[in-house]
Every structure is written in structure tokens, then in C-alpha cells.
Amino acid sequence: MTAEPGERPRQPRPEDLRSHQWYGTDGLRSFSHRARTRQLGYLPEEHLGKPVVAILNTWSDINPCHMHLRERAQAVKRGVWQAGGFPLEFPVATLSETFQKPTPMLYRNLLAMETEELLRSYPVDGAVLLGGCDKSTPALLMGAASVDLPAVFVPAGPMLPGHWRGTVLGSGTDMWKYWDDRRAGLIGDAELAELENGLARSPGTCMTMGTAATMTAAAETLGMTLPGASSVPAVDSGHERMAAASGRRIVDLVRTGLRPSAILTRAAFQDAVATVLALGGSTNAVIHLIALAGRCGVELTLDDFDRVARTVPVLADVRPGGRFLMEDFHFAGGLPGFLTRLLDVLHLDRPTVAHPTLREQLAGALVHDPEVIRERDRPLADEGGLAVLTGNLCPDGAVIKHIAADPRLLRHTGPAVVFPDYRTLQRTIDDPALGITADHVLVLQNAGPRGGPGMPEYGMLPLPDHLLKQGVRDMVRISDARMSGTSYGTCVLHVAPESYVGGPLALVRNGDPITLDVPARTLRLEVSDAELTRRAARWTPPPAHHTRGYGALYGEQITQADTGCDFAFLARKGDTPDPYAG
């Protein structure tokens, strides 16, 4: 059952529903399924012939960003019941950015697989996806796109602003800042204890324009959420209303047959790229959007990001690149208001889960505070917040969030100080014997997709404490790792191919001159080709991190950063048959 976007919802015949295969046929299995549903406590009239909606919930006791999603799942259920559907909640993997090691990025594809296979293997007609903490958004959307059942995404929403001694705090961003202040001797243990109480004071994701806020904004721009959903504060009553409305909406989507494949088009991804860049969003969005696009059969490359970055200004004055926080952004107009600043670059005639066209979705949207959401003639920065670099040190590309860097370092040449892994970096970075000055270039190897493993957020390399005490707060740092979207600094990230597989980053030696030129979009190792060839001939692959289990599968199948770090067997084209038989 399919329909054109915007078609008036209609009650499908029971046999039109996918769940009919489980419940409605005249056979032993349907008899068994109906009996077991009675065992769950439901009468036939509560579910037979109704759209069955899966609520995929990433709540857990150890994910503070999602601790309110138990209650939001109940609101979604309320909406599904109100619209005449039958809701079923499924617990799925929680990806807690705070606690999961070595990085939840190692498990993004696992949640994507779980999402896809749960939706495919159970009697469901559509899904509501509850997530928000960094990797959960792309994971849920990747899985939903792969199975292509009607779906709506419900973002967890940002937490409340932090407070400390009259200062408004932004989680992540101020954590890095005050930790450096402690290492520099500017604050002590008493202040640090107070900061622990003030940084994160409610459920919800980071309230800066980190990866969580960036990816939920991208999900809204793509058309997979209700209008304005991406920035509703987690504890605001509007968040519960949005969750209930999403439950009602998914039932309509099942009735009309509108699927992600009709929404997640190349035009939608182009708009998401423009939005991320105009927000000054997280570098992690590059990897996640490329991976999600691949699941949708859309080719999205680093070149797309760089091309758009040169034409779209940064208009969101939100930390870490700006001054304000996500609650300010929400009440300044949220994403609908923000997108009205970009109407000339958006594809307005494409569908969303809420409206026949994005044009209709944005009708009447307003900006209420031009300090938070800037006018085009007074941007925070003239170009998008990310730049894509090329050169002999990154043949397949690298990225930098130059809006969050010290402008004086955007053109810089300095000698390398090389750390072969993150543990060595942690152990030795403060060693005076290394002779590190502010002009050096810090290089971290073996922190990429396979080398990390999982490409951890090691890219905001710590500065030596003796430089922090001198007032130095930024240096050029290069790695094949990622960095937190809440962080800042002149950090070149996602160097591809990674050093663990023999990329040029593996060939850098202490003292090698490295030139970063962001305006020219280049990153070069100033060493002759002949010398690099000699070094490459002597390079030997490091041992595998895992020899069994999921880690081994990850090491065998993970692709590089420039292609989205998806699993090769999931990213390729092909059909998966309907699992129901009989």
C-alpha cells in the first residue's frame, strides 16, 4: 500500500497491513500469534486490523541523555491509541556518549542493525524512533531507512542550561574549558566539585551545538521529525506533547504508505548538509550523513560538504562556535525559524513526515531573536562552519571545524610531535623532555575507525600543562580520530585513510614539518615523495584489536571515515526478503 505524499489518511483494509501476515490469515501461525497476544493481555478488538506501531526506545539507567524516554514512550503510545493504532514498545541498544567505551561509535552500526532487523522480523507496520544522544540518531535512521517502513523520529531534546557562580554553562564545551583551567592551576578541587553539580542538571542531550543537536537538526531538515521537534527542551511539557503528536502522526503515515525512501532523497540530504554547515554543527555529522545517505542509495561525499560550505554562512550563534545555548535557539524560532534564513538554498517541494512539502512545513515560521539566529547580512561566519582538507597527508580527505579554531592557526607550519596511540599521548603529553612549544603540531596515530577501534573522540588532543600555564589555549592538532561536537580548537580530524591501515598519517615522524592551510583547503606533510615511499616500505600493520565477537566483525567490515564508517555488507546495494513465511 503506497500513496502520494500529502494524501489524506484513510483506514486501510486489514489485509493491506503488513501485520496482517502475522495476525489475520487462516492458519496455525496466526492462531498462535492471536493467542499469544491475548497472553500479553490484549483483546482482539484492541489490535486486529489496526496499524501496529513499534516504539524503539533507547532509554536505559546509564544514559542520562535518555532518562526521560520511558515517559516519552508512554506519550507516544497515547498518541498511537488516539489515532487508532496499536503500539508496542521495543527496548533497543542505548548508546551513552558519557559512559560507553572505547566509544559508542563502535556500536552505532550495531544499533542500526538491531533497528533494521527488529522492524523487519516483527509484525509492525510503522515505527517511532526515540533517540538523540549522538550516535543513536544516525543509527536509528540508518536502520529505519534500510527496512523502509513508515517511521517518525522523536529527538530526546537538549538538557537545561548549566549554572555555576553566576555563569551559564554549556555541557561539554565548558567541561573542556574548565578542565584546562584546572590543569593550568587557575581553579582548584573546590571549584571543580561545584562545576560537577552545575554542568548537567536535567535529562536531555548536550545543550550546545554538539553532535546530538546537530544530528537531530539534520533529522528534522531531512523530514523525519515533526516541525520544531529537534530543539524542544527535554523537560519542557512541549516535549511530551510532541511525542504524543508523533504517535498520532505515525498512524497516518502507515495509512498513507509514506515511507522513508520517499523522504530521504538526494535533495533532502543536500538540505541537511546546508543546515549542518549553517548551524556551525559538529564534524561528526559528516560521517553520519554520508553513512545514512549510503543506506538510502544516495551518493554523498566530502566534496558535497566542501562545495556547500563555501556558499552558506554560519547563522546560529550557539556554542561552541557562538554565545548561546539550545534553549535560546529553540525560543528564538528553532529549526523552522532557522530554515527561513536558508529558503534560497533549500529544496522546498520535497515531502516530510508532517507535510506534503517542506514549503508548507515552513509556512508561518518566524525568527524571534536575530541575535541567536542571525540575518544573512550579519552572519557569525561568512562560510559554513566546516572545511574539507586534501593533500598528501590525507589523500581521501580530512575535516576541520574552523569556526571553533584560533584564526591565527588556520595557516600554520610547524614540526610534528607524534604519539603512536592515545594511551601514550595521555602518559607523556606533559613530559617537559618532549620540548613541545605552541608552534608544534601534535599528531595522534592509530585512532581511526579500525585503529581506535571505533574512531573515538580523541581528536581534541590535550595541550601540555606547561603551555596551559603560559596561557596557550590552542595548537594545531591532527588525527584520524573524531572530536566531540561540543569541543573546540584547531583540530584536523577524520584523516583518511587512517594510519592503522597504512595511510600517510602512519608515516609521520617527530620533527617533520606539516603545513595546514584552511583557506586553501590543504594539509601537507613537507617530506619528499621518495622518503615517504621508503617509510611506507618499512611500515608493518599493527595486530588486530579483536580476534572474535562483534569487535572482529567490526574490524573486518568497517569502512573509512570518508565513506561514513558503515559496514561494507550493510552499505552495499541488495534486497532483503520479507522474513514471514506461512
Phi-psi region of 206 (alpha: psi -120 to 50; beta: other; left: phi over 0): beta
Architecture of the 14-160+202-362 domain = 3-Layer(aba) Sandwich (3.40)
Return the exposure string of 559-579: e unless at least 16 CB atoms fall within 10 Å of the residue's CB, then b.
bbbbbbbbbeebbeeeeeeee
- pLDDT (0 to 100) of residue 11: 67
pLDDT along the chain (582 residues), means of 10: 49 87 92 95 94 98 97 98 98 96 97 98 98 97 98 98 94 91 94 93 96 98 98 98 98 97 98 98 97 97 96 96 96 98 98 98 98 97 95 98 95 98 97 97 98 97 96 97 93 98 98 98 97 97 95 97 97 83 50
Please state, in angstroms and rounded to a whole number, the distance separating the CA atoms of residues 261 and 150: 9
Which pTM was predicted?
0.96
Indicate the angle between helix axes 136-147 and 108-121, nearest 10 degrees: 40
Query: What's the pLDDT at 1?
Result: 42
pLDDT tens digits for 445-471?
999 999 999 999 999 999 999 999 999
- State whether residue 30 is helix, strand or coil: helix
pLDDT one-digit tens code per residue, 248-264: 999 999 999 999 999 99
Q: Which of 563, 569, 561, 566 is nearest to 455 (CA)?
A: 561
Q: What is the pLDDT of residue 572?
A: 86
Structural Rg of the chain based on CA atoms: 24
Architecture field, domain 387-538? 3-Layer(bba) Sandwich (3.50)
Which residues, at least 6 apart from 572, have a Cβ–Cβ distance to it below 8 Å? none
All three cell numbers of 136, joined, read 543513536
In the chain, which residues fall in CATH 3.40.50.2300? 14-160+202-362
Q: d(Cα 467, Cα 77) in Å, to the nearest integer?
A: 54
Residue intervals in the chain for CATH 3.50.30.80: 387-538
Which pLDDT score, from 0 to 100, does residue 3 have? 45
**What's the Cα-to-Cα distance from 466 to each of 81, 184, 431, 469, 471, rounded to whole Å?**
61, 8, 9, 5, 9
Closest CA to 391 of 481, 489, 496: 496
Q: What are 550's three cell numbers?
A: 562483534
CA 57 to chain centre: 17
Nearest to 579 by CA among 123, 126, 120: 120
Q: How far apart are CA 439 and CA 386, in angstroms?
A: 23
Strand partners, 87: 53
